[in-house]
Amino acid sequence: MDTLETLNFERFQNRTDFYYKILDKNFYSLPSKVDIKSRREYSLTQYRLYT
């Protein structure tokens, strides 16, 4: 099962009007590469949202 589907169901059960939805790619952009330093679990990255 998809992670977003699981999150939605665990938080909202059958209230699908509250579900998070995936945006179309024309609404955002992400870098093609993200560097995560050694011994780190995460990294900050920049993204753009379009209206």
pLDDT tens digit sequence for 1-51: 689 999 999 999 999 999 999 989 999 999 999 899 999 999 999 999 998
Identify whether 45 is part of a domain.
yes
Identify whether 44 is part of a domain.
yes
Q: Which residues contact 19 (CB under 8 A, 6 or more apart)?
A: 8, 12
Identify whether 15 is part of a domain.
no
pTM: 0.54
pLDDT score recorded for residue 1: 60
Q: What's the domain count of the chain? A: 1
Identify whether 10 is part of a domain.
no
Say how far apart CA 24 and CA 5 lie, in whole Å. Answer: 17
